[in-house]
Structure 1
Amino acid sequence: MSVPPRVLTVTPNPALDLTVQAGGWQRGEVNAAQAAQQDAGGKGVNVAALLADWGVSVAATGLLGRDNAAPFETLFREKGVIDEFVRVPGAARVGLKIVDRTRGDTTDLNLPGLTVSARALADLQATLRAPPPGVNVVALCGSLPPGVPTTFYAEEVARLRGQGRFVALDTSGQALHAALHAAVLPQLVKPNIHELEAALGRSLTTEAEVLAAARDLIRRGAELVTVSQGERGALLVTAHEALFARPPRVTVQSTVGAGDAMVAGLISAHLDGLGLQSAARRATAFSAGSITRLGAHLPPHAELDALAAQVQVESADALTH
C-alpha cells in the first residue's frame, strides 16, 4: 500500500525538456551537437521528482496534454510520484535547453504551452480544492499557460492558506507580480534575483536592497523568502533571521532545475522542522547536487550530506554593512 502524499506540486504548464549538449555553439551558425536527451519537466514536475528521490511521498498535478503524456507517466512510475494531473487535449510544450560546457552556461527556449479551456481550468481547481488525503504542503510552480489568468496563483494561495496548508510559490512574470501584491502571501516564496526585480518593478543592486525587499515580503505575511542568485548563492530571510548561503564548487552538467532543487530542499527542510541554517545547507546542497546530473535527479543522501557540510552560511546583515 502506498504512503499518502505529504506534498502536492502544481504545474499548470509542464514541458518536455529537450537538452542538447553543444559546446562552443555560435548563434546564427550551423552548429554540431554532441548529445541530446529528452526529459519530462516543468518546475513542479521537477520538484516532485526531486522530493521523491529524497524519500518524501509526493503527488503532482497540473494540466497535461494527452498526446505526449507518456514520458511524464514513465517518470512518475519510476520515481513513485502519485499522478494527479488533469489530462487535456493536445501536447505539452517542448522546452529547448542548449548546454554549453565550454562556456559553462545554458540557454533556454521555452514555448508558451497549450491554451487552456475553462473546463480544464475548472478541473484543476477541483483537484486543488480536494487534494489527496495527507497533503499539508502545496507547491505552486512555474509559468501559467495561455487561458489561465495571471491571478491564478494569488487566488489559490489565499484559498490554500485558508485551508491551513503550507504554500510554496516559485513562478515569475505577471503571475509572481500578482501573487506578491495580493493580500495573502504564500509562506515560502523563492524567486531568483531577476524575477524579484521584475515583480517589484525596480532594480535591486545591493545586498541591502535585496534584504530590504525580502523583509518587506515577510512583514506582509510570507514566512520564508529565498532569493536565489545563481552561483553566488542564495539569501534566506525569516522574521527572525537572514542568512546568505554560498554553494560548494561542483562539476556542472546542466543548471536546468537548480532552482527547482532549491525549492525541493526547502520543502523537505520544512517537513523535517529544520532551523534556517540547516534548511539553507540542505536547499543549497540539493541545488548543487542537482546540477551534477542531467534531468531532475538528486545524488545519493551521503553525497548530499557532504555537499551540505561544504555550504558556507553567514549572516546577511553582516554583508550589508
Structure 2
Amino acid sequence: MTPHAVTVTLNPAIDQTVRLDRLQPGHVHRARSARDDAGGKGINVAACLADWGVATAATGVLGADNDGSFRLLFEQRGIADHCLRAPGQTRTNIKLVEDGGDETTDINLPGLQLDADQLDAVSAQLAPLLAPGVPVALSGSLPAGLPETAWARLQAQAAAAGARVLLDTSGPALAAALNTQAGALPYAVKPNRHELEAWTGSALPERADLLAAAHALVNRGIALVVVSMGADGALFVDAHGALVARPPRLARGSTVGAGDAMVAGLAASLLVPRFELAACARLATAFSMSRLESGDQRQLDPAQVRRWADDVLIEPLA
C-alpha cells in the first residue's frame, strides 16, 4: 500500500524519561519512575500521524542491537517499518523531569556513526515510498559520519518525485538544506526562533523580525514557514498571508514531542483537499496540545484534537 505520509529519521533515540521529586546538580537522586520509549523526531511525527489515522511509513536507520521498542511502537500504531538496521545500538536520550515542573533536562548520548553507503541505502529505501503530493517529514539531527548536506540530498530526491518535504532540523544541516536551488527546496520548514537566528546570522528579538525572516524564506520558494515561539505561540507564513496561532491555554506536562506533533499536524493539513493557513495553524497547534497533555502515553487523541482546534486563538498579521 502506498503510504499517505512518510517520515525519515537518521538519528533516532530511545527516550528514557526519569521522574524526580527535585533535580539538584551535584546531589544523589532517587528516581520516582523511569520508562523507555521509541523516539527521535521523525519517529514521533510518524506516531502522531498514525494516531490521526494517516497511513504512515517510517524510514531511517535504527541500531540492530536494541530495536525492540521501535518494533513495538510500529506494531502498536500500525506504522509501516521501512527502517534500515545498522550494527550497534540506537542512542539513548535521558530526560530528567521534576514532578510538578514544566521543564525537562535533556542529556542526549552519542548515536550511531553512519557512512555514505548507509545514506545511499536510506535513499534507495525512500525512493519507492515517494509520490506526488505525499508529505515527507525529514526530522532531527544528523548522526556522526554523514555530511551536513545529507538532508539536502534526501530533500532534493523527494522534491524531484513531487513529494512535499517538511524539514525540521537545525544548524549546518538546516543551512545546507535552505541553500539549495529553488526546485530542491523543502515545501515547509519549522524552525524555532534560535534556529532561524542561526540561519540568518542575526538576532531576531521582535515578532516583526521573525516575520521578515519568514517572508524571506517564502520569497525564496518555500511554500510554508512555521516559526515556534514557545509560550507566544507559533508564526505561520505562506505566500497568501501570515498569522500567529496560540493555544487557548497552556498545556500541562513535559514539552517533549510537542514540536514533532506540530510537524505531524502540518503534514496532516497538507492532506486536506483545500489548504487554508488558518485551518493548518489550528490543527497543528491542537496536535501539539494533545501530545503534550497525553503525558507518558505519548499519544494523540483525535477527538480531543478536533475539539481543541476550534479553540485555538488566531491573530491575522498584516
Shorter-chain TM-score above 0.5: yes
**SS at the partner of 1:243?**
strand
**How do 1:1-321 residues align onto structure 2 when only pairs under 5 Å count?**
3-131=1-129, 136-183=134-181, 184-272=184-272, 273-294=274-295, 297-317=298-318
Instruction: Output the CA distance in 2 between the equivalents of 1:251 and 1:173.
Output: 28
Instruction: Output the CA distance in 2 between the equivalents of 1:263 and 1:257.
Output: 10
Q: CA 1:133 to 1:191, structure 2 compared with 1: closer, same or farther past 3 Å?
A: closer
Q: CA 1:82 to 1:296, structure 2 compared with 1: closer, same or farther past 3 Å?
A: farther
Instruction: Output the CA distance in 1 between the equivalents of 2:77 and 2:124.
Output: 25
Segments of 4+ in structure 1 off by > 4 A? 132-135
Count of aligned pairs between the two proteins: 315
| Aligned partners of 1:5 and 1:135 also within 8 Å | no
TM-score w.r.t. the length of structure 2 is 0.94
Instruction: Output the CA distance in 2 between the equivalents of 1:62 and 1:100.
Output: 32
Q: CA 1:167 to 1:299, structure 2 compared with 1: closer, same or farther past 3 Å?
A: closer
1:222 partner amino acid: I
| Aligned partners of 1:286 and 1:298 also within 8 Å | no
Instruction: Output the CA distance in 1 between the equivalents of 2:93 and 2:201.
Output: 27
Instruction: Output the CA distance in 1 between the equivalents of 2:275 and 2:25.
Output: 45
Q: Displacement, 1:295?
A: 5.1
| Aligned partners of 2:130 and 2:161 also within 8 Å | no
Q: Deviations over 1:82-102 (max 9, x none)?
A: 000011100000011112243
| Aligned partners of 2:52 and 2:300 also within 8 Å | no
TM-score w.r.t. the length of structure 1 is 0.93
Q: Displacement, 1:156?
A: 2.0
Q: CA 1:33 to 1:50, structure 2 compared with 1: closer, same or farther past 3 Å?
A: same
1:203 partner amino acid: A
**Runs of 5+ unmatched residues, structure 1:** none
**SS at the partner of 1:121?**
helix
Instruction: Output the CA distance in 1 between the equivalents of 2:113 and 2:305.
Output: 39
Q: Displacement, 1:287?
A: 0.4
**Runs of 5+ unmatched residues, structure 2:** none
Aligned-residue identity in percent: 48
2:240 partner amino acid: H
| Aligned partners of 2:132 and 2:163 also within 8 Å | no
